[in-house]
Chain A
Amino acid sequence: GAGVSQTPSNKVTEKGKYVELRCDPISGHTALYWYRQSLGQGPEFLIYFQGTGAADDSGLPNDRFFAVRPEGSVSTLKIQRTERGDSAVYLCASSLTLTGAGTNNEQFFGPGTRLTVL
């Protein structure tokens, strides 16, 4: 079946502009995560959705970053007034949220969107 997809694969923008990054999770996955990966670093958690609601947005760096998931499937990460320091690969992941002993709910990652702010 189809994996997690993200669009666009690359986005180049100018400082101060607004950008939207899209994530299509695996069908049936209720949990959706956004991470940011800077060059040479591991992914850094930004926000997690359970269904339509943001269950944990503690990783968002500041109020220029916002994410939505209005129908509990596709999610959009929105960045206002972009800065050069926002340049990174933005990764989306999705997982099931089964409960019970032995359930690990593996996170499946998308290919990422490489954002470059000039």
Chain B
Amino acid sequence: GENVEQHPSTLSVQEGDSAVIKCTYSDSASNYFPWYKQELGKRPQLIIDIRSNVGEKKDQRIAVTLNKTAKHFSLHITETQPEDSAVYFCAASNPLNSGSARQLTFGSGTQLTVLP
């Protein structure tokens, strides 16, 4: 089955700096890669996702890049703000196992702390 590894496990940055979180996956058939933000005691919320037919996607201060050959993808947050502090999870999905729906395999999470 799919295995997703995520680094780093913790990341501290100064407000205004950029943050980068990296993930690798094992199943070359995976083609959908969402990123979720989870604040303490809250539910995971999708912040951005990318399909394997594109290499990069951007939404305001957040961007995701995908390298299918190397089987890794990254989350980039620019101009970080204290409210960006949370745990971020990457995930990968292989629809071959579940039809049109997508069973997600998650990374272990990155605790991002933005210092004011």
Contact = CB atoms under 8 A, between A and B. Distances in A.
Given A42-B108, A44-B106, A45-B104, A107 B99 contact: no
B46 A107 contact: yes
| Residue from the set B43, B99, B101, B102 with the largest chain A CB neighbour count within 10 Å | B101
A105 B101 contact: yes
Nearest to A43: B106
Interface size class of B (residues with CB under 8 A): 20 to 34
Contacts of B44: 43, 91, 109
12 contacts: A42-B4, A42-B91, A42-B107, A43-B104, A45-B105, A55-B99, A55-B101, A56-B98, A95-B102, A97-B99, A99-B100, A108-B46
Contacts of A91: 43-44
Interface residues of A, number: 31
B97 interface: yes
Contact of A104 (B4, B32, B42, B98): B32
A104 B49 contact: yes
A118 B109 CA distance: 27
Nearest to A103: B100
B102 A105 contact: yes
Interface of A: 4, 31, 33, 35, 40-45, 48, 50, 55-56, 59, 91, 95, 97-99, 102-112
Interface string B17-36: 00000000000000010101
B99 A42 contact: no
Given A31-B101, A105-B101, 16 more contacts: A35-B104, A42-B91, A42-B108, A43-B89, A45-B103, A45-B105, A48-B103, A55-B101, A56-B97, A91-B43, A97-B100, A104-B34, A105-B100, A107-B102, A108-B46, A112-B43
